[in-house]
Amino acid sequence: MKQQGLQAIQPRRFTPRTTDSRHTAQVSPNLLLDAENAPCQAREVIVGDITYLPLACGKWGYLASWQDKFSKRIVGWAVEERITDKLVIKAFAKAVESGSIKANTIIHTDRGSQYVSNNFRALLAANRCRQSMSRRANCWDNAQAESTFSRYKAELLEDGVFENVSQARSETFSYVEGYYNRVRRHSSLGYTSPEEFEREINTKMKGSSSERVVSSKT
């Protein structure tokens, strides 16, 4: 093509919006600004977000995830063709089914329309969770979720694309359940995986409880 003086016509690079905060629904306050709500153990704060997944056909798939802020374990996720409240609800339902959501857990997200829907808020209320949202135009308030998606795309996609939504779902399952939660080490966790970190914390907590019981008896 260069020898013939030809140049390929390329479509303009496009990145779909995953957050639409142009709604009139009441937003929730950012509970994470209060130091008292900083997580000191697993399942106290769960952060969520949505990202786009490039497909070979030129269209997009969407991934919603819920991650434990303390241990970095991804406790629920879903991949779908459409970016509606059903996407985040499906991912959250997985977190509930796995036993990762408890009463008074803080559920933190951005101000996207999916998170202010009546159906999603009803699900939070049914599980007695507290909703928290980032401040307006402040991506740092949900930086952990953003960082997780960045690692996901760098380590799994490597600037490539998924063949279709079905493949995206299958590859995401292998990455999250087989690698990220079980194997991937995090410097902030002492170079352990989320599952290893949680086991170590649980072991220490059980040890402390046993010491208190023995001490009280003596």
**Bridging pattern class, strands 130-133 and 60-68:** unpaired
pTM: 0.83
- Is the CB of residue 98 less than 8 Å from the CB of residue 78? no
Cβ atoms < 10 Å from Cβ of 198:
21
Q: Mean pLDDT per 10-residue run, the chain (218 residues)?
A: 75 56 81 89 95 94 97 98 96 96 96 94 97 84 91 91 97 97 96 96 76 52
DSSP letters, the chain, are: -TTTT-----PPP-----------SPPPP-GGGSGGGS-SSTTSEEEEEEEEEEBTTS-EEEEEEEEETTT--EEEEEEESS-SHHHHHHHHHHHHHTT---TT-EEEE-S-GGGGSHHHHHHHHHTT-EEEEPPTT-GGGGHHHHHHHHHHIIIIITT--BSSHHHHHHHHHIIIIIIITTT--BGGGTSB-HHHHHHHHHHHHHHHHHHHHHHHH-
> Phi and psi at residue 48, in whole multiples of 5°?
-135, 155
pLDDT value of residue 12 = 46
Domains in the chain (CATH in brackets) are 31-165 (3.30.420.10)
Give CA–CA dist 110/30, Å, rounded. Answer: 9
- Is the CB of residue 108 less than 8 Å from the CB of residue 48? yes
Give CA–CA dist 215/60, Å, rounded. Answer: 59
Q: What are the tens digits of pLDDT across the range 156-210? A: 988 899 999 999 999 999 999 999 999 999 999 999 999 999 999 989 888 665 5
- Is the CB of residue 149 less than 8 Å from the CB of residue 49? yes
pLDDT value of residue 14 = 53
